[in-house]
Amino acid sequence: MQKIIILSVTMLLASNAIASSNDMAEGNRLFHENCFVCHNADLDPPQAPPMYGVQKHYKRATANRDAFIEKVTAFATDPNEDKAILKMAVKHLGVMPNPGVEESDVRKIAAYIHDEAFARPCGHMKAAMKKAKAEGDLKHFTRIKKNFNRKCAKQTVKAPAAKAAPNSATAGSLKQIMQQIAIDYADLDQAILVGNFATAAKAAHGIAMHEKIGLEQRMKIKQALGTEMRNFKMRDDAIHALAIKAEAAAKAKDMPLLLRHQSQMLSACMACHTSYRHKVMRILK
C-alpha cells in the first residue's frame, strides 16, 4: 500500500511537471511571437532590455512568482513610465509600446519569463556600450562596461589550447549527440514517473556531460550561426547547468526540486531549438 501511495504521489507530481512544461512551451511560443522582435539580446542597436535583466529586476521587486506575474502583466498590458521597474532602460530606450496581447497570454509570457534560464546578455551589453559611446554618454558607457567586465569578460578569455583528441574532426556527430540527449531525457522522465532517483541522476548526468561536438561540425555550426554562436553556446551552458542541478536534486531524493529543474531544462531546450534548429538543420543531415 505504501508503495502504491508513493507511486501515486510521484505520478501526480510528474503530471504537474508535464502540465508545467506545456505551460512553459506555450509561454515560450507567445514570447517569441510577441516580444522577441524587440527583446532579442543580440540586436544592435538594442531596442529593449534583454530578458535576463528584466527577470532579475522584477524578481528583486517582487516577493514570489505570483507577484512577479502580476507586476509584469500590469506593466505589459498598460506600459507607462510610472509602472516601469527598469528605469534605466526607459531612460535610454523609452517606454515599450503596448503589444496588444490578451491579458491571459501576457500572464503566460510573464510566467515563462519568471521560470526561464536566460543566458547572460553579453551581446546586448556590447551593443549598448557602442550606442552610449556614439551618443557621448560616458557615464552610461562606464556603467555598462563595468557590468560587462563582471559578467562577460571571463567568457571571452581564451584558455590555453588543449591537445586535440584522436579523430576530433569526425568524433561527436551533432545528430548522434542530440539523439543520445533525447534518450537520456526520456530516461529522466521515466525515472521521475516511477520515483527511481538513481536512474534520474544518471540520466541528468548524461545530459549535463554529453559528448562534445567534433571539430568539423563545430566549425560548420559556427559558420551557420555567425554572430549568434555566442548566444547558442550560452544557451547550451544554461541547459548543462540545469541538468547538473537536476542530478543533484535526484541524488538528494528531492522530487519537487527535481521536477522543477526538469521542467526548466525542457523549456530551455525548446527555446534553443526554436531559435536555432532551422539554421543548424542542414548540419544534422
Q: Identify whether 7 is part of a domain.
A: no
The residue range of the domain holding 41 is: 35-123
Q: Identify whether 210 is part of a domain.
A: yes
Distance CA 218, CA 165 (A): 14
Provide the pLDDT for residue 109: 94
Computed over every residue of the chain, the mean pLDDT equals: 79
Query: Where among 123, 157, 190 does a domain terminate?
Result: 123
Q: Identify whether 77 is part of a domain.
A: yes
* The pTM of the whole model exceeds 0.85: no
Q: Check: CB of residue 123 under 8 Å from CB of residue 270.
A: no
Q: Which residue has the cell 510566467?
A: 111
The residue among 167 and 116 whose pLDDT is bigger is 116
Q: Identify whether 24 is part of a domain.
A: no
195 confidence band (pLDDT: 50, 70, 90)? confident
Average pLDDT over every residue of 39-54:
88
Query: Where among 123, 158, 189 does a domain terminate?
Result: 123
DSSP helix/strand/coil, 31? helix
Q: Identify whether 133 is part of a domain.
A: no
Question: CB-based contacts of 119: which residues, under 8 Å, 6+ apart?
Answer: 41, 52, 231, 234, 235, 237, 238
Q: How many domains does the chain have?
A: 2
In tens, the pLDDT along 137-179 reads 888 889 888 888 888 875 544 444 444 443 333 445 777 777 7
In tens, the pLDDT along 57-101 reads 999 999 999 999 999 999 999 999 999 999 988 888 899 989 899
7 confidence band (pLDDT: 50, 70, 90)? very low
